[in-house]
Structure 1
Amino acid sequence: MTIKGLDRFLSDRLPELCDHHLRPKQEPLMVVNPPGKANLVILPDASGVPTAALAGRNGNMTVGTADGFDRPQMATATARIDLPPAVRNAQDLPVEKPPVSQPNAVAPADRGGDRPNLQKPQDEHNGGSDKSFLQQLILWSSATALVLLLGVFVTNKSIFIGQQEGDPRSPAENAQNSGSQKFTGTGGSQNQPRAVQAGTGTKQPPSSQQVWAEAKTFLKDGSASSFNKAVVKARTIPANDPLYPQAQQDIERWSLTILDIANGRAARGDFQGAIGAAKLMPDVNQPVYNQSKQAIAQWEELSKDQDVNIALLSAAKGQIKRGVASSYSKGIQQANKIEPGQPKYEEAQQLIGEWSESILKISQLRGSQGKLKEAVEAASLVPSGTKSYQPAQKEIANWKTKLQRQKKG
């Protein structure tokens, strides 16, 4: 009903709207000039144009009263409300209201009619004016909040839809495009910063120190392939670099380590593994490289012999029959085909020694059973050069002596 009431309503309603639309809290500001007019009653103008809804483009809203009797005494109150531009522009539109009748002035009986007393307008007129103003205020406040939310969405679009992560262009292209937009019309690419000019998609090559450090990281495995990777990486250091001499020393040392690994595998009989390691030898040191080539050729021949000897040992083991001395003798004959220096020679000699001892035990068992002739035959199968040969000869002499005594008896 009054300007002060309107100020109190806006002070309560605007923060609620801000909380409802999740916006920062806002406080309305109303300036009444002079301040004493803040308590004046807001009434529609006699001409039918509601003064409470008049506002200019400068944001000033004039709220006035009309008494119909003493207009100079009822001055117009002007209030400045900080409203959004959309609301201020909307308030410039004329609002048609039905004409209202002049309020009647009734003089108080006890004061003898010295000053006319304003009678309150009809409730339907006041209610309609307040309702229209409140509807416009709520409508345009909602529209303003919607515009603000749209602005927030557009500003933070990358957060809502992840546009920045889904951008197919590379960072260098984005930097170049932003730089070209920023420096358009400033005299060409000469005024662009160095970062924009360099953003052509070319990657800065790593320094020699980084290459050398990365090459050393491959050595943690300790295999021939890891040393080969280190050599390949270190060889990318150019000859004019200060680290080139040190890198060449490391490359030669790592190459010799590869050859040592290959020789160690060959000593264990793993010729295929030795060949695989030797093939990783770089051609840095030509004499060492040639040595590895010769070793590969030799290990290939030994690998073939190894396959043949493995087949011989497998056939020898297949001859063995438990308790039959002749089967062990046949197995020994197969194993003796593996010559000294050939792969699997040590394994063959070990099997020959075990099988010779088995033959001796078989002959001793026969001798204890009184089968002296069978015992002598079995012991005669023990090959010379084994640990069981001398004991077998002693047993044979003893059994022959007993056989002669039996003949004489």
Structure 2
Amino acid sequence: MARHWAIIIGINQYQSLQPLMFAQQDALELRNFFVDEVGWESDACCLITDRATSPDQAPIPTKAALEAQIQAVCDQLTADDTLWFFFSGYGTTEADADYLLPVDGDPARIAETGLSLETLLKQLKATPTEKLLVALDINRSQAALPNQRLGLHSQELARNLGIPLLLSCRPQQFSQESLAVHHGFFTMALLEAMRFHGCLTLVQLSDYVADRVPQLCQHHLRPEQQPVAVIPDEAKYLLVIPAESVARLPLTQAAAASTETTLATLSPQPTLAGQTSPRESSDGERLAIAADPERDSQGSEDEFEDEDIEAGSGWQRWALVAAALLLLGVFIRNQTVFMGNAPETIDSVSEGAGENASGDPLFPEGTGNEANLPPLEQAQVAIAETRYQDALTWLEQIPTAERDQTYGALLQQAQAGVAQAGRDSQAQLAEAQRQLQPLSAAPFAAAIAQAEQVPADDPNYAQAEALIERWGQVILDLAEAEAAAGDFDAAILTAQQIAEGRSDLYSLAQERIANFQQRKVNQDVLKQAQERLVPNQPQTFRDSIDLVMPISPEYPEYAIAQDRVARWSEDILAIARTRAARGDLQGAIAAAMLVPEQAAVYGQAQEQLQQWQAQSEASQ
């Protein structure tokens, strides 16, 4: 049976580099999406971060640990399996070769301590499966590392090896993130595409990310970021989400309707080798570059930038093609039924078929009471023992022709149990992660005070200064993390650990303290505005709007304030329309006049206002 694998790596706290904010969160959220929402097996989704987030997590992501874990997964892959490789952290370039930096990566010894992208991609290419996707978020502004060409070598390798590759941005750009969303924009767009918008194929996924990431940068007032894609022709329609998992996802109404309609009405129309796909005929050869040897030989930097994913590329157009390919997959998987060939009997299966390459059983192990039971009864026992994932595994073994009402009822129970378990485990992981966060910056402040005792004429003075700078930055990063969690009082106390004697760090700390203090005021303002609202009293909505409008765009709370202004303005107009429908024209007019000029619905409010004033005058 085909399995879906993922190697997901996210590193915040590096030993020799400034900490990152959301690399770990990006990795954790992606893993939880695959396991809790899509339904992939948890033991096939390898999460590797610099902090433990589950009891069975892999070791801290040192170079040796990452190499061992990657090899362990590659050794288990079969030709029918699918593999995601996701890395969020630092990357760098040395001698025009790209490297991923593990937690112990040393910028002074990149070749010895970094993970070579060339070695990694060739390792993935050597596995039995061709269903691969590599997604990298490695261009970081925090690093004083060579970055101007980071990603170019990876793109060339991906094109030559025929491996689909998604990069978070162009070589000259940086990956952007925001405290308002607690994610990097690249990962946020990936999750949105799959979770809400029905992006099932690589083309759909890359097109959506191309559209969405620049929008997020603009909305959150961040510098430009344009993702880059290398997608071979033969991988354009690779399913990133299996068809059987679509029903689990909270798709938007439009995405769900499109998927249902196409599945019900279309027959499979595969693209043959050498044919021009609908995308190529409309958008040129942008996504076909990786398969064009003539372009491969050019070797210029521009050839890679031509592969940049464009905004407005119309990922929605591929919903029909994706659905057709889903039906094609169903035909291929069941071709023995359609073609009349008899399936292989159990007796013909070789000895050891119930085990994988490592000798582990492919079927779930129970308590021993259900030995030799058929799969349906095995599933019933598993549900009774609250082993819902095991129950789903047993239910998958039941032939389609034997899936009756009892099967359907058990399937619903198992899926509901898995969903609830996912919610429970998510809460447990969140609490565990909270407890693992450093509780105090005091040890770093004490270390700084100790290092400051090294005199300027001491041979170790330069090293002491470097350590002081790094530890001071850690203190500020801890303060930022506390602010990101909404605890501004704690963030202020943490930043105050920077002593006045360090002029540069102290000035930066004072800036952050002032920022945290203002954000605390903004937070209080938003809370007060929400508490002022009274249903059906439009003046309270306008008062709340006036209260939050002064929040400055330089703070994350500005986006929240603007969203609430828009929503409350719509509420005012809705109240006015309700009054007009009841015949209370004067009340409707009074309400409509409260819609602020900055609101998107102001024009609608003015039109309605004129209509109601005319009706009121006519009735007098």
Shorter-chain TM-score tier: 0.3 to 0.5
- Scaled by the length of structure 2, the TM-score of the pair is 0.25
- Scaled by the length of structure 1, the TM-score of the pair is 0.35
The structure whose RCO (Cα within 8 Å, separation 6+) is larger is 2
The structure number with the bigger radius of gyration is 1
